[in-house]
């Protein structure tokens, strides 16, 4: 049994729904009691120390202990090509993404990148992510095997594409179904692994393939389904050409059984009213990818407006298209986009999105994404004075939020004092 001491921050409610003062529980001298990979208790440090004198104390001074970051939309196979010079989405896919993803036909290469990706994200305090893989089953096997060896909670799936992609990255409706089903049956629910049915997006799948993916989801509604939606205006125009009978972009999924409560729809920037209404009605989640949206010039996500209308929203780096592995940088970008849309986000809302908000989007809000008894001991410890620039601003802080906000805006992996996954300090 271990007792981590420092400042602690947890959530009792969604700070988009109630005043942030009512949503956050902060202990200035707090503690988190951990045993066998789980959080046993969160309270004042002295209270926990008195109740559990046998616990090994891990002191973090004034550092902030909170749930590890949950990244709700990534492409781990794009690790090696992150920060490739812009262009528009379709050009960027053809120029950089598809050639790199073709390399994952080699299982050794997939294993190398999977390990590299999980090392990089752990260094940035990310403990769970939902990742697209490639069309190659070996890319899924490599990612899950590496995560399993680390005791890590991850979501992933084989990407399905049977058109508008290089021959080396095309499967078929049948092989997408067969491969996905086999991988799902092998991995879903094993240790901390979750499978997500993963059609990349409507332009790279025929109606037959979307139908096959929808059929698999109907057979296994316990799984998540992840895809892309309304990222760029020229993408939407392309979807209209490919699916002339569809009412809108979302309808290309809905008509084929790919709209549901466990659906994760990345980007969702240029939504029509019907789409917003249907997504809310079914309880689907939108995933905001701010660094990607600005890097590729996609547009401005309307976080406050969509949350006000009752939609579930997670936060993500969209690694590859996104320009950073850091959820701190992602929160900063979300704040900046909020400013540009006239609705700046409070630090409490940003931290909630990066933890409990994303965990709820993944339907794991009662397992990860918060400091709460019974939750997995997936934690990040933040040094709130990690660089001279942040330290001098932190020194002037008058409350918790003034102390935290400089790290959100200027922090990077240097701010991550420690990352705990499944009750183990993986940064040691």
Task: Scan for tokens 């990407």, then name that residue.
Answer: 159
What tokens appear for 74 in the block?
């990534």
Residues 417-426: tens digit of each pLDDT: 999 999 999 9
For residues 144 and 12, give the distance between their C-alpha atoms in angstroms, rounded to a whole number. Answer: 32
Confidence of residue 86 (pLDDT cuts 50, 70, 90): low
DSSP assignment of 258-295: --STTEEEEE--S--HHHHHHHHHHT-EEEE-HHHHHH
Q: Where are the alpha helices (DSSP H) in 56-203?
A: 89-92, 98-102, 107-123, 137-149, 173-187
Q: What is the pLDDT of residues 136-180, one digit of tens each?
A: 999 999 999 999 999 999 999 999 999 999 999 999 999 999 999
CB 212 within 8 A of CB 176: yes
pLDDT at 92 over 80: no
CB-count burial class (<10 Å; 0-12, 13-18, 19+) for 237: exposed
pLDDT band at 42 (very low <50, low <70, confident <90, very high): very high
pLDDT-derived band at 97 (thresholds 50, 70, 90) equals confident
Paired residues of 9 in beta bridges:
26
pLDDT band at 45 (very low <50, low <70, confident <90, very high): very high
Q: Quote the tokens at residue 56.
A: 């090994």
> How far is 179 from 288, CA to CA, in rounded Å?
29
46-55, 88-97, 145-154, 292-301: lowest mean pLDDT where? 88-97
Q: What is the token pair recorded at 358?
A: 């994303």
What is the rounded CA–CA span in Å between residue 337 and residue 317?
14
Task: Show the tokens assigned to 5.
Answer: 């001491």
User: Quick one: CA dihedral 411, 414, 416, 419, positive or negative?
Assistant: positive
CA distances in angstroms from 155 to 158, 188, 257, 289, listed in the order given: 11, 9, 21, 17
Of 217, 237, 233, nearest in space to 225 by CA: 217
Ramachandran angles phi, psi of 17, nearest 5°: -105, -25
CA 326 to each of CA 36, 241, 296, 323, 415: distance values in angstroms, whole numbers, following the listed order: 28, 36, 17, 9, 11
Token couple for 214: 């929808």
- What is the C-alpha to C-alpha distance for residues 55 and 143, in angstroms, rounded to an integer? 34
Answer yes or no: is pLDDT of 88 > 90. Answer: no
User: What is the pTM assigned to this prediction?
Assistant: 0.97
Q: Is the pLDDT of residue 264 over 70?
A: yes
* Model pLDDT, residue 320: 86
Domains of the chain: 2-68+369-425 (2.30.40.10), 69-361 (3.20.20.140)
């Amino acid at each position: 049994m271990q007792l981590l001491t420092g400042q602690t921050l947890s959530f009792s409610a969604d700070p988009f729904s109630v005043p942030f003062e009512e949503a956050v529980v902060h202990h200035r001298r707090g503690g988190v009691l951990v045993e066998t990979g789980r959080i046993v208790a969160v309270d004042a440090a002295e209270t926990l120390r008195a109740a559990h004198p046998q616990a090994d104390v891990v002191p973090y001074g004034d550092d902030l202990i909170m749930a590890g970051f949950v990244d709700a939309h990534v492409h781990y196979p794009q690790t090696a090509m992150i920060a490739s010079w812009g262009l528009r989405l379709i050009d960027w896919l053809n120029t950089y993404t598809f050639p790199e993803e073709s390399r994952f036909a080699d299982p050794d290469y997939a294993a190398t990148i999977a390990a590299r990706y999980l090392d990089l994200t752990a260094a940035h305090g990310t403990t769970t992510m939902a990742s697209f893989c490639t069309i190659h089953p070996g890319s899924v096997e490599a990612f899950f095997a590496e995560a399993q060896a680390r005791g890590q909670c991850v979501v992933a799936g084989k990407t399905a594409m049977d058109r508008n992609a290089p021959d080396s990255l095309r499967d078929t409706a049948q092989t997408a179904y067969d491969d996905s089903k086999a991988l799902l049956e092998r991995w879903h629910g094993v240790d901390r692994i979750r499978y997500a049915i993963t059609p990349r997006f409507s332009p790279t799948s025929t109606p037959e393939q979307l139908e096959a993916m929808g059929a698999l989801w109907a057979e296994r509604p316990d799984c998540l389904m992840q895809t892309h939606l309304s990222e760029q205006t020229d993408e939407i125009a392309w979807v209209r050409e490919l699916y002339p009978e569809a009412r809108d972009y979302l309808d290309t999924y809905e008509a084929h059984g790919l709209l549901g409560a466990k659906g994760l729809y990345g980007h969702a920037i240029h939504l029509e009213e019907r789409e917003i209404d249907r997504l809310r009605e079914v309880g689907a989640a939108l995933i905001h990818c701010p660094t990607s949206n600005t890097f590729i010039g996609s547009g401005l996500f309307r976080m406050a407006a969509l949350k006000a209308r009752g939609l579930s929203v997670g936060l993500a780096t969209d690694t590859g298209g996104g320009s950073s592995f850091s959820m701190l940088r992602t929160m900063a970008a979300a704040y900046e986009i909020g400013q540009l849309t006239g609705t700046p986000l409070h630090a409490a809302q940003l931290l909630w999105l990066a933890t409990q908000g994303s965990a709820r989007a993944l339907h794991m809000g009662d397992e990860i994404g918060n400091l709460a008894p019974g939750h997995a001991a997936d934690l990040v410890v933040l040094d709130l004075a990690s660089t001279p620039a942040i330290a001098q601003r932190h020194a002037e802080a008058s409350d918790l939020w003034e102390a935290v906000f400089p790290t959100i805006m200027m922090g990077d992996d240097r701010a991550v004092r420690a990352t705990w996954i499944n009750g183990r300090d993986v940064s040691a």
